[in-house]
Chains A and B, each alone.
Chain A
């Protein structure tokens, strides 16, 4: 009712463009306040409050039984001498570059191939997209079977005369990390493809036509028309990739648990085993803070973009 008594003074005059006009100003009814507060409280209880605790715990030593003991920067100093941490950090960077980079490039390539509206293209798109709906655990098990010593991969290698390359892919320290990235890629590429397909669809065909008339080759059109037009999607894909890379846990946990000898350890798996298997909760929290710091830039830029969009 409050809304009724406070007529929207601005809106009727300059209707179409501004986003503000969609809101009805005036006193906010209590029900509407409750609409915001209930979800906010749920998130505060399960996210904001735990997050604050998580940051605090990073500066403590805690076994989960006796009360946490404040140790300042002790955990972070310990990291400097922790070889497993350094390995995990390096693998996380590798993971970002390989998993992230390849899924972006291959996802874009798949989108370019499958953007043409031809008969049957929907089927091809669905095939590439199907793995996205699998859990990473199921994905991991599928690929574990492929990697087995008597599995399909080794059989295929033998069949094409590359039997010398046969391998215990997941048990070898030199190949474990890469063997884990492949299933993750298999699942991620379809996701990135969908994002790029939408982006490509949004490009005005007239731009391509104009470039064609001016005699631009297909490659030139890609470089000077398609890529610049995709800048918005690229930013989205970048955020998705960085956030997903740093969160990657399930696939590694199901395939190798970070082994053998930490050769496929990521910060996320190291954090989990430190916290819940070694029960070093303070050090585990400090590792989580490192992950947060790595993700912070992307989270912040995502929020800035969201902020601009929100009004």
Chain B
């Protein structure tokens, strides 16, 4: 045997070992997801007769219909999207504006303002829950979707300002100066020059903030009370109470609740991972 073929064989063994280890790990990780998918496609009678952990002996799509209409998932999903989509857009617009001003102009106290805004986002939400629920009552928006949107925007914006500030800071000043020489005002500089250059960061943060806002439970149950206003996360807890031990329906509800963020993740995977790393202060 030549040295070359031994090395080759060893490299092949390493490759096989890697795929075996990583494959097993990935399989373990996906197992709970596979399980919930399978459960959501079984009939109640099958689960009742053979147990939740048994091999499936039935197939039905009716559970999704039940969770969707009787379980109120449809309305809840609409509520979630009504809050999430405007929140993502408004939060990022506000954050981009503030980051632009703080990173491109010599504002007084700009470093303090930046850290103040970031600091607000780092607060444990618990300290805000009681006052926020009272505040929304006081403003007459308690138990309405705008209250939820308001607190999501107010609480989230500081973090995005910080990340976008870091990003915009690295755009060379010469680009801006050229625009100023051409007679562009701040709005044109922001809209025509800085914002287009910030697109990668905005895309990353959109994917990230969509899942964060969509997946929130705590703020929703703090400012909302009626079942008809609840977003999908809170509705899922309601479903758990409504269909006690009807695991087929609960599983279908979980699949419905997770589908939008999974879709965003699969579509924007790269942005997503980039977003998580953007947020990390090094």
Known contacts A142-B36, A292-B123, A309-B282; A254/B22 CB under 8 A: no
B153 contacts A by Cβ under 8 Å: yes
The residues of B that contact A143 with a CB separation of less than 8 Å are 32
Task: Name which of A16-24, A97-105, A217-225 contacts chain B.
Answer: A16-24
A133 near B33 (CB under 8 angstroms)?
no
Q: Is the CB of A138 within 8 A of B105?
A: no
A-B pairs with beta carbons under 8 A, tally: 344
> Contacts A150-B51, A310-B165 known; A32 to B130 CB distance under 8 Å?
no
Asked if A281 and B261 make an inter-chain contact with CB atoms under 8 angstroms apart, the answer reads: no
Q: Given the known A-B contacts A42-B154, A130-B30, are A302 and B51 also in contact in the complex, defined by CB atoms under 8 Å? A: no
Choose from B15, B217, B269 the contact partner of A253 (Cβ within 8 Å). B217
Chain A positions near chain B (C-beta within 8 angstroms): 1, 3-4, 8, 11, 19, 21-26, 28-29, 31-33, 35-36, 38-40, 42-43, 45-51, 53-55, 57, 64, 110, 113-114, 116, 118, 120-121, 123-124, 126-131, 133-138, 141-146, 148, 150-156, 186, 190-191, 194-195, 198, 232-233, 236, 239-240, 243, 246-247, 249-250, 253-254, 267-268, 271-272, 275-276, 281, 284-285, 287-289, 291-292, 295, 299, 302-303, 305-307, 309-311
Q: A28-B106, A36-B107, A39-B95 are in contact. Are A145 and B173 (CB under 8 A)?
A: no
Q: Which residue of A lies closest to B151 (CB)?
A: A46
Q: Quick one: which of A22, A131, A138 contacts B104, CB cutoff 8 A?
A: A22
Query: Are A35 and B97 in contact, CB atoms less than 8 angstroms apart?
Result: yes
User: A22-B173, A137-B257 are known contacts; what are 4 more A-B pairs with Cβ within 8 Å?
Assistant: A3-B105, A135-B257, A232-B282, A267-B126
Q: Which residues of B contact A291 (CB under 8 A)?
A: 124, 126-127
* A54-B131 in contact given A145-B36, A236-B282 (Cβ < 8 Å): yes
Contact string against A for B residues 241-252, beta-carbon threshold 8 Å, 1 for contact and 0 otherwise = 000000100110
* Residues of chain B with a CB closer than 8 A to A150's CB: 51-54
